[in-house]
Amino acid sequence: MFDILESTQKDDVVAVRISGELTKDDYERLTPLIEQKIQEHGNIKMFFEMEDVENVDYGAMWEELKFDARNSDKISKVAVVGDRSSESLLTRIKNNLTTAETKFFNREDRDAALKWI
């Protein structure tokens, strides 16, 4: 599941905390927000705070791939905050999903990630 973070109120940022299992329904709720931000601002930045992620539904991953194929050039930066096991998400994003500038931050560097984004 995910929660939309207060940082999303910044014009060109979509910030979410991901925890537990990430499902296709989660992507279906998140995608319209991302698309709205893209329509309003052209390019956007994304912030993912990973917290005890247990599983990613492959249907959900497929939705992400379809979304990214349409919008990869509109995401300028991606920050991922979490522990080292969360770093694999950043690697996947960087290698397969977007050409955006990407960076991993440890949990204690969360504020630095928000400033970077």
Instruction: Please write the tens of the pLDDT for every residue from 55-110.
Output: 665 455 545 655 655 777 888 898 989 887 766 665 665 655 567 888 889 999 99
Q: Is 102 helix (H, G, I), strand (E, B) or coil?
A: strand
Give how many domains the chain has, as a whole number.
Answer: 1
CATH number reported for the structural domain that contains residue 6 in this entry:
3.30.750.24
Bridge partners, 45 (sequence order): 13, 77
Whole domain around residue 17: which residue ranges?
Answer: 2-116
Geometric angle at alpha carbon 27, from 21 and 28, rounded to 5°: 130
Select from 22, 72, 65 the least CA-distant residue to 46.
Answer: 72
Summarize pLDDT for 9-43 with one digit per residue, the tens: 778 999 999 888 877 788 788 888 888 999 999 99
Distance CA 3, CA 30 (A): 9
